[in-house]
C-alpha cells in the first residue's frame, strides 16, 4: 500500500502491526518513485526507493519467531538488493502489537521495532546515498497474516525529544547520531595540552603525546583501573558527547559519559568515581589476533544506591582494528540513549540504543575514559 502524497527525502515512516502467523515478513518503504526502470516484483513493484523489512529467519514454535532487519534498495537498473542486514536476530510474538519505524536522514537509514509500551525492541542502522530524493511512502507484508493498525509519515528531521508512544499514532523516536547540533558546542580540537576546563577525575593522563602518524593526543597513564577526564562545565540533559580515539593494544575498554553529578551516594570506583550518571563503554569480548578485537556496547548506570550496573548490553559484537582512528559518540534524548562508533571517514560502524529514565532530566558533566594506558584520544566534543 503506497501513499499518493510525496514526502521529503528526510522522513520517518511508522506503522503499528499485529502478526498472526509466523510467516510474517513486514516492511515499510520511503523515497519511492514510480519508474519503468525499477524491478516489477518483490518489494519494488515498479518503484525505486528503500524498504525496511523484518525478515523471518527461524520459527521456534507457533507463537514466536526470530527475525532480522533487511534494508532493501530498489535501484533504477531493475535490481532489488539487500544492502544492509542486521548481524543478530530478535524474537516477535504472535498476536502481539508492535511498531516498525524507518527513519531516513541524508545517507543514514535506521530501522527500529518497538513493543506496545513504546520500548525499543531492536534497531539497525546503516548508510547508503544511492537515492536521496523526495518520494512516496508505503507499508506491506508477505502473506495475508499481518494486520496493520496505523500508518504515519513525517517529513523532516525527527524531534529528538519525542519519546515512543503506545498510541497507534506513532511519533519518531530515534534521533540520528549525525544530526548537526543546533546549540552551543564545547570543542577540544586537540590535546597538545590539558584543557583548562577539563580535570582528571580518575587515574591519570599525559598530554601532547604521539602514536604512529597521530600527534597532539592525550593518553591514560594508569594501567590498574579506569582513567577518566571530565569537563568542569555542566551540560543539559539532552547532550551529544563525542571523542576520536586510537587504540594500540587489544585491551582497550573505552568510554564516554554524560549526565554526571557528584554524589556521596555514588560508587567511588569503577566507571563512577563518586559521580552519578551514565557511561557508554566499548567492552572487549574476544581478541582474534594482535591487530583486531571484538567488542560490545555496555551502557552503565552509576546509581544513587552506590551501584554500577550494565543496564544495556548490545546483543552482537563488532570488530575494531588497532592503530586505527575511530569516533565514539554518546547521545541522550530524554530517556533514549544511543552509543555509536564511526570510522575515520565518518561512516557508521555500529550503533546500540536503549531507554532508561533514571536520570532522564539531569544536567551534568561529561567525560572520556579508558581502562589501561593504551588508548589515545585526539579530540572531544559535547553539544547540548
Looking at the structure, tell me whether residues 375 and 255 fall in a common domain.
Answer: yes
3-state percent breakdown (helix, strand, coil) of the chain, nearest 5? 0, 55, 45
Looking at the structure, tell me whether residues 372 and 276 fall in a common domain.
Answer: yes
pLDDT score, position 338: 95
Which DSSP helix (H) or strand (E) runs through 128?
none
pLDDT digits (tens, 9 = 90+) for 85-99: 888 777 778 788 889
Looking at the structure, tell me whether residues 234 and 375 fall in a common domain.
Answer: yes
Which DSSP helix (H) or strand (E) runs through 291?
none
pLDDT score, position 289: 54
How far is it, in rounded angstroms, from Cα 157 to Cα 170?
15
Q: For the beta carbon of residue 30, count every other beta carbon within 10 angstroms.
A: 27
Kindly tell me if the per-residue pLDDT of 364 is higher than 50: yes
Number of structural domains, the chain? 2
Task: Return the CATH number at 123.
Answer: 2.60.120.200
pLDDT digits (tens, 9 = 90+) for 272-298: 999 999 999 998 876 655 566 788 899
| Domain edge (last residue) among 137, 155, 173 | 155
Looking at the structure, tell me whether residues 131 and 198 fall in a common domain.
Answer: no
Looking at the structure, tell me whether residues 211 and 353 fall in a common domain.
Answer: yes
173 belongs to a structural domain: no
Q: Which residues contact 297 (CB under 8 A, 6 or more apart)?
A: 280, 281, 282, 283, 312, 313, 314, 339, 350, 352
pLDDT score, position 287: 60
Compute the average pLDDT of residues 125-136: 94
> Grid coordinates in use for 314?
548490545
CA 22 centroid distance within chain: 28
Kind of pairing between the strands at 205-211 and 292-302: unpaired
Asked whether the beta carbons of 32 and 47 are under 8 A apart, the reply is yes
48 belongs to a structural domain: yes
Looking at the structure, tell me whether residues 34 and 127 fall in a common domain.
Answer: yes
210 belongs to a structural domain: yes
| Domain edge (last residue) among 155, 177, 206 | 155
Give the distance between the most distant pair of CA atoms in the chain. Answer: 67
Task: Look at residues 272, 352, 263 and name the one whose alpha carbon lies nearest to residue 312.
Answer: 352
pLDDT score, position 291: 62
| Domain edge (last residue) among 113, 136, 155 | 155
Backbone angles phi, psi at 219, to 5 degrees: -140, 145
Name the pTM for this structure: 0.55
> DSSP string spanning 222-235?
-SSSEEEEEESS-B
Kindly tell me if the per-residue pLDDT of 157 is higher than 90: no
Judged by average pLDDT, the poorest of 147-161, 165-179, 194-208 is 165-179
Residue ranges making up the domain that contains 43? 11-155
174 belongs to a structural domain: no
Q: Look at 57 and 133; give whichever has higher pLDDT.
A: 133
Asked whether the beta carbons of 174 and 123 are under 8 A apart, the reply is yes
Q: Which residues contact 345 (CB under 8 A, 6 or more apart)?
A: none
Q: How far apart are the first and last CA of the chain?
A: 40
**3 state SS of 327:** strand
pLDDT score, position 288: 56
Looking at the structure, tell me whether residues 190 and 132 fall in a common domain.
Answer: no
Asked whether the beta carbons of 332 and 254 are under 8 A apart, the reply is no
Among residues of the chain, what percentage have pLDDT more than 70?
A: 86
Kindly tell me if the per-residue pLDDT of 163 is higher than 70: no
Pick left, alpha or beta for residue 240 (phi over 0 → left; psi -120 to 50 → alpha; otherwise beta).
Answer: beta
Kindly tell me if the per-residue pLDDT of 65 is higher than 80: no
Looking at the structure, tell me whether residues 219 and 363 fall in a common domain.
Answer: yes
Q: For the beta carbon of residue 299, count every other beta carbon within 10 angstroms.
A: 23
172 belongs to a structural domain: no
How far is it, in rounded angstroms, from Cα 49 to Cα 236?
38
**What is each CA distance from 77 to 47, 85, 217, 248, in whole angstroms?**
11, 21, 47, 44
Looking at the structure, tell me whether residues 194 and 140 fall in a common domain.
Answer: no
Looking at the structure, tell me whether residues 19 and 112 fall in a common domain.
Answer: yes
Looking at the structure, tell me whether residues 207 and 348 fall in a common domain.
Answer: yes
Kindly tell me if the per-residue pLDDT of 131 is higher than 90: yes
Task: Return the CATH number at 359.
Answer: 2.60.120.560
pLDDT digits (tens, 9 = 90+) for 27-64: 999 999 999 999 888 899 899 999 999 887 765 555 66
5 belongs to a structural domain: no
Task: Look at residues 335, 384, 332 and name the one whose alpha carbon lies nearest to residue 360.
Answer: 335
CA 314 centroid distance within chain: 10
pLDDT digits (tens, 9 = 90+) for 304-357: 999 999 999 998 887 888 889 999 999 999 999 999 999 998 989 899 999 999
How far is it, in rounded angstroms, from Cα 187 to Cα 298?
25
329 - beta bridge partners? 242, 340
How far is it, in rounded angstroms, from Cα 275 to Cα 256?
13
Compute the average pLDDT of residues 241-268: 91
Looking at the structure, tell me whether residues 219 and 356 fall in a common domain.
Answer: yes
Among residues of the chain, what percentage have pLDDT more than 90?
A: 60
> Grid coordinates in use for 122?
531492536
pLDDT digits (tens, 9 = 90+) for 205-222: 999 999 999 999 999 998
pLDDT score, position 283: 87
Q: What is the mean pLDDT of the chain?
A: 86
Task: Look at residues 255, 219, 229, 247 and name the one whose alpha carbon lies nearest to residue 339.
Answer: 255
50 belongs to a structural domain: yes
Judged by average pLDDT, the poorest of 58-62, 162-166, 366-370 is 162-166
Task: Look at residues 32, 67, 68, 66 and name the one whose alpha carbon lies nearest to residue 51.
Answer: 32
Kindly tell me if the per-residue pLDDT of 247 is higher than 90: no
Residue with cell 531492536: 122
pLDDT score, position 143: 64
Q: Look at 165 and 348; give whichever has higher pLDDT.
A: 348
DSSP state of 170: P
Amino acid at each position: 500500500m503506497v501513499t499518493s502524497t510525496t514526502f521529503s527525502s528526510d522522513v520517518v515512516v511508522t506503522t503499528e502491526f499485529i502478526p498472526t502467523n509466523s510467516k510474517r515478513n513486514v516492511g515499510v518503504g520511503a523515497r519511492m518513485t514510480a519508474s519503468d526502470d525499477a524491478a516489477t516484483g518483490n518489494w519494488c513493484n515498479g518503484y525505486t526507493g528503500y524498504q525496511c523489512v523484518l525478515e523471518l529467519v527461524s520459527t521456534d514454535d507457533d507463537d514466536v519467531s526470530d527475525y532480522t532487519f533487511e534494508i532493501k534498495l530498489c535501484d533504477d537498473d531493475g535490481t532489488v538488493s539487500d544492502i544492509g542486514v542486521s548481524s543478530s536476530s530478535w524474537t516477535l510474538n504472535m498476536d502481539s502489537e508492535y511498531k516498525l519505524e524507518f527513519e531516513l536522514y541524508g545517507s543514514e537509514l535506521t530501522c527500529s521495532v518497538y513493543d506496545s509500551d513504546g520500548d525499543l525492541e531492536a534497531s539497525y542502522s546503516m548508510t547508503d546515498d544511492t537515492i536521496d530524493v523526495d518520494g512516496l511512502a508505503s507499508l506491506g507484508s508477505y502473506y495475508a497474516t499481518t494486520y496493520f493498525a496505523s500508518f504515519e509519515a513525517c517529513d523532516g528531521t525527527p524531534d529528538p525529544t519525542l519519546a515512543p508512544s503506545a498510541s497507534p499514532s506513532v511519533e519518531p523516536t530515534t534521533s540520528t547520531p549525525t544530526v548537526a547540533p543546533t546549540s552551543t558546542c564545547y570543542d577540544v580540537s586537540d590535546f597538545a595540552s590539558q584543557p583548562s576546563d577539563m580535570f582528571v577525575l580518575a587515574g591519570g593522563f599525559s598530554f601532547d603525546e604521539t602514536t604512529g602518524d597521530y600527534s597532539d593526543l592525550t593518553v591514560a597513564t594508569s594501567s590498574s583501573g579506569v582513567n577518566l577526564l571530565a569537563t568542569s562545565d555542566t551540560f543539559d540533559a539532552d547532550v551529544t558527547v563525542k571523542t576520536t580515539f586510537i587504540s594500540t593494544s587489544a585491551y582497550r575498554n573505552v568510554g564516554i559519559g554524560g549526565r554526571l553529578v557528584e554524589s556521596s551516594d555514588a560508587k567511588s570506583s569503577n566507571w563512577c568515581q563518586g559521580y552519578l550518571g551514565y557511561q557508554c563503554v566499548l567492552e572487549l569480548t574476544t581478541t582474534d589476533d594482535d591487530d583486531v578485537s571484538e567488542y560490545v556496547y555496555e551502557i552503565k548506570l552509576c546509581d544513587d544506591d552506590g551501584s554500577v550496573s550494565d543496564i544495556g548490553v548490545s546483543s552482537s559484537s563488532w570488530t575494531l582494528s588497532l592503530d586505527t582512528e575511530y569516533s565514539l559518540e554518546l547521545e541522550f534524548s530524554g530517556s533514549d540513549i544511543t552509543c555509536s562508533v564511526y570510522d575515520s571517514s565518518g561512516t557508521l560502524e555500529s550503533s546500540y540504543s536503549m531507554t532508561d529514565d533514571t536520570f532522564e532530566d539531569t544536567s551534568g558533566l561529561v567525560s572520556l575514559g579508558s581502562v589501561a594506558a593504551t588508548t589515545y584520544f585526539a579530540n572531544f566534543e559535547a553539544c547540548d
